[in-house]
Chain A
Amino acid sequence: MLIIPCPYCGERPELEFSYGGQAHIDRPLAPSDLSDEEWNSYLYVRANPKGRHAERWRHIHGCARFFNAVRDTRTDHILATYKVGEPEPEIPA
Chain B
Amino acid sequence: MTTGHFRTPSGGRIDRSRPLRFSFDGRSYSGFEGDTVASALLANGVHLVGRSFKYHRPRGIMGAGPDEPNALIGVRRDQGRYTPNLLATQTELYDGLDAVSQNRHPSLEKDRMAVNDRFSRFIPAGFYYKTFMWPRKAWDRLFEPRIRAAAGLGIAPSESDPDSYAQRYAHCDVLVIGAGPAGLTAAMEAAKSGAQIILCDDRAAMGGSLLAANQVTIDGAPAARWLAGMLDSLAGMANVTLLPRTSAFGYYPHNWIGLAQKLTDHLADAAPGQPRERLWQVRAKQVVIAAGAIERPLVFPDNDRPGIMLADAARTYLQQYGVEVGRKVVIVAAHDNGYRTAHELKDAGIDIAAIADIRGDSPVAARARQAGLRVLTNAAIDGTTGKLRVASITLTSGGKRETFACDAVLMAGGFTPSVHLFSQSRGKLMWNEDLQAYLPDQSAEAERSAGACRGHFALDEALADGAEAGRSAAEAAGYPFRPAIIPLACAVAHPVGGGGHIGAAPTSDPSRPKAFVDWQNDVTAADILLAAREGFLSIEHVKRYTTTGMATDQGKLSNINALGIVAEATGRTIPEVGLTTFRAPYTPISFGTLAGRARRDLLDPARITAINDWAIEQGAVFEDVGNWKRAHFFPKNGEDLHASVARECLAVRESVGIFDASTLGKIEIVGPDAAEFMNRFYVNAWTKLGVGKCRYGVLLREDGFVLDDGVVGRLAPDRFHVTTTTSGAARVLGMMEDYLQTEWSDLDVWLTSTTEQWSVIAVQGPKAREVIEPLVQGLDLSPDAFPHMSIADARICGVPMRLMRVSFTGELGFEVNVPSGYGAMVWQAIWERGQAHDMVAYGTETMHVLRAEKGFIIIGQETDGTVTPDDAGLAWAIGKAKPDFVGKRSLARPAMTDPDRKQLVGLLTRDPRIVLEEGAQIVAPAAEDRSIGHVTSAYHSSVLGKSIALAMVRAGRARLGERLEVPMPGGSIAVDVVAPVFFDPKGDRVNV
Q: Mark B683-725, 1 if CB is under 8 A from A, else 0.
A: 0000000000000000000110000000000000000000000
Closest chain-B Cβ to A5's Cβ sits at a distance in Å of: 11
Closest chain-A Cβ to B208's Cβ sits at a distance in Å of: 29
For B703, list chain A residues within 8 Å (CB): 43
Q: Mark B835-852, 1 if CB is under 8 A from A, else 0.
A: 000000000000000000
CB atoms of A39 and B884 under 8 A apart = no
CB atoms of A32 and B884 under 8 A apart = yes
Assuming A1-B252, A1-B254, is B742 touching A32 (CB within 8 A)? Answer: no
Q: Mark A2-46, 1 if CB is under 8 A from B, else 0.
A: 110000000001000010100000111011101010011001000
Partner of B743, one of A2, A13, A26, A43: A26
CB atoms of B742 and A3 under 8 A apart = no
Closest chain-B Cβ to A34's Cβ sits at a distance in Å of: 7
Bound CA span A1–B252, Å: 6
Q: Mark B729-754, 1 if CB is under 8 A from A, else 0.
A: 00000100111011101000000000
For A64, list chain B residues within 8 Å (CB): 737
Residue B105 interfacial (CB < 8 Å): no
For B884, list chain A residues within 8 Å (CB): 30-32
Bound CA span A84–B741, Å: 8
Which A residues, 36 to 85, have Cβ-Cβ distances below 8 Å to chain B?
36, 39-40, 43, 56, 58, 60, 64-66, 75-77, 84-85
Partner of B256, one of A1, A32, A34, A66: A1
Bound CA span A30–B884, Å: 7
Partner of B702, one of A3, A26, A43: A43
CB atoms of B738 and A20 under 8 A apart = yes
Partner of A66, one of B252, B283, B444, B742: B742
Interface-forming stretch among B293-301, B400-408, B555-563, B885-893?
Answer: B885-893
Which B residues, 889 to 903, have Cβ-Cβ distances below 8 Å to chain A?
889-890, 892-894
For A60, list chain B residues within 8 Å (CB): 734
Residue of B with least CB distance to A1: B256
Assuming A43-B702, A66-B737, A75-B426, is B254 touching A36 (CB within 8 A)? Answer: no
Assuming A27-B743, A43-B702, A85-B745, is B253 touching A34 (CB within 8 A)? Answer: no
For A13, list chain B residues within 8 Å (CB): 283
For A56, list chain B residues within 8 Å (CB): 742
Bound CA span A85–B743, Å: 10
For A3, list chain B residues within 8 Å (CB): 254, 256, 283
Closest chain-A Cβ to B576's Cβ sits at a distance in Å of: 24
Bound CA span A33–B703, Å: 16
CB atoms of B426 and A39 under 8 A apart = no
Bound CA span A76–B252, Å: 11
Assuming A3-B283, A31-B884, A66-B738, is B254 touching A43 (CB within 8 A)? Answer: no
Residue B883 interfacial (CB < 8 Å): yes
For B890, list chain A residues within 8 Å (CB): 39, 43
For A2, list chain B residues within 8 Å (CB): 253-254
For A85, list chain B residues within 8 Å (CB): 745
For B734, list chain A residues within 8 Å (CB): 18, 58, 60
CB atoms of A1 and B742 under 8 A apart = no
Closest chain-A Cβ to B886's Cβ sits at a distance in Å of: 9
For A20, list chain B residues within 8 Å (CB): 738
For B252, list chain A residues within 8 Å (CB): 1
For B893, list chain A residues within 8 Å (CB): 36, 39-40
Assuming A43-B702, A64-B737, is B253 touching A1 (CB within 8 A)? Answer: yes
Closest chain-A Cβ to B916's Cβ sits at a distance in Å of: 35
For B883, list chain A residues within 8 Å (CB): 30, 32
Residue of A with least CB distance to B894: A36
For B444, list chain A residues within 8 Å (CB): 75
Bound CA span A39–B741, Å: 22
CB atoms of B889 and A32 under 8 A apart = yes
Bound CA span A40–B426, Å: 38
Closest chain-B Cβ to A12's Cβ sits at a distance in Å of: 11
For A66, list chain B residues within 8 Å (CB): 737-738, 741-742
Bound CA span A20–B702, Å: 15
Assuming A1-B254, A3-B283, is B889 touching A31 (CB within 8 A)? Answer: yes
CB atoms of B253 and A76 under 8 A apart = yes
Bound CA span A43–B45, Å: 72
Closest chain-B Cβ to A64's Cβ sits at a distance in Å of: 7
Closest chain-B Cβ to A69's Cβ sits at a distance in Å of: 13
CB atoms of B889 and A84 under 8 A apart = no
For A18, list chain B residues within 8 Å (CB): 734
Closest chain-B Cβ to A79's Cβ sits at a distance in Å of: 13
Bound CA span A84–B737, Å: 13
Residue of B with least CB distance to A29: B884
Which B residues, 880 to 935, have Cβ-Cβ distances below 8 Å to chain A?
883-884, 888-890, 892-894
Chain A CB within 10 Å — which of B283, B738, B741, B742 has the most? B742
Closest chain-A Cβ to B686's Cβ sits at a distance in Å of: 19
For A27, list chain B residues within 8 Å (CB): 702, 739, 743
Residue of B with least CB distance to A4: B254
For B253, list chain A residues within 8 Å (CB): 1-2, 75-77
Bound CA span A43–B892, Å: 14
Bound CA span A76–B426, Å: 11
Chain B CB within 10 Å — which of A27, A60, A65 has the most? A27
Q: Mark B107-141, 1 if CB is under 8 A from A, else 0.
A: 00000000000000000000000000000000000
Residue of B with least CB distance to A68: B742
Closest chain-A Cβ to B442's Cβ sits at a distance in Å of: 11
For B738, list chain A residues within 8 Å (CB): 20, 58, 66
Bound CA span A43–B703, Å: 7
Q: Mark B230-264, 1 if CB is under 8 A from A, else 0.
A: 00000000000000000000001110100000000
Chain A CB within 10 Å — which of B252, B889, B890 has the most? B889
Bound CA span A26–B894, Å: 24
For B743, list chain A residues within 8 Å (CB): 26-27
Which B residues, 411 to 449, have Cβ-Cβ distances below 8 Å to chain A?
426, 444
Closest chain-B Cβ to A48's Cβ sits at a distance in Å of: 19
Closest chain-A Cβ to B482's Cβ sits at a distance in Å of: 27
Bound CA span A64–B283, Å: 24
Chain B CB within 10 Å — which of A30, A31, A64, A66 has the most? A31
For B254, list chain A residues within 8 Å (CB): 1-3, 76-77
Bound CA span A32–B745, Å: 21
Closest chain-A Cβ to B963's Cβ sits at a distance in Å of: 38
For B892, list chain A residues within 8 Å (CB): 32
Closest chain-A Cβ to B884's Cβ sits at a distance in Å of: 6
Closest chain-A Cβ to B667's Cβ sits at a distance in Å of: 14
Bound CA span A64–B737, Å: 9
Residue of B with least CB distance to A40: B893
Bound CA span A37–B837, Å: 61
Partner of A31, one of B426, B741, B888: B888
Closest chain-B Cβ to A42's Cβ sits at a distance in Å of: 8
Q: Mark B873-884, 1 if CB is under 8 A from A, else 0.
A: 000000000011
Closest chain-A Cβ to B735's Cβ sits at a distance in Å of: 11
Bound CA span A32–B738, Å: 21
Bound CA span A39–B887, Å: 11
Bound CA span A58–B894, Å: 34
Chain B CB within 10 Å — which of A20, A26, A39, A40 has the most? A39
Residue of B with least CB distance to A27: B743
Bound CA span A1–B258, Å: 11
Bound CA span A28–B890, Å: 13
Bound CA span A85–B745, Å: 10
Bound CA span A85–B256, Å: 31
Closest chain-B Cβ to A16's Cβ sits at a distance in Å of: 13
Listed A/B pairs (15) with beta-carbon separation below 8 Å: A1-B253, A1-B256, A26-B743, A27-B743, A31-B884, A31-B889, A32-B884, A32-B888, A40-B893, A58-B738, A60-B734, A66-B742, A76-B253, A84-B741, A85-B745
In the A-B complex, the 9 residue pairs with the smallest Cβ-Cβ separation, listed nearest first, are: A31-B889, A3-B254, A66-B741, A27-B743, A76-B253, A1-B256, A84-B742, A39-B889, A66-B742
Q: A26-B743, A31-B889, A84-B742 are in contact. List 9 more A-B contacts (CB 8 A).
A: A1-B252, A3-B283, A18-B734, A20-B738, A58-B734, A58-B738, A66-B742, A75-B253, A75-B426
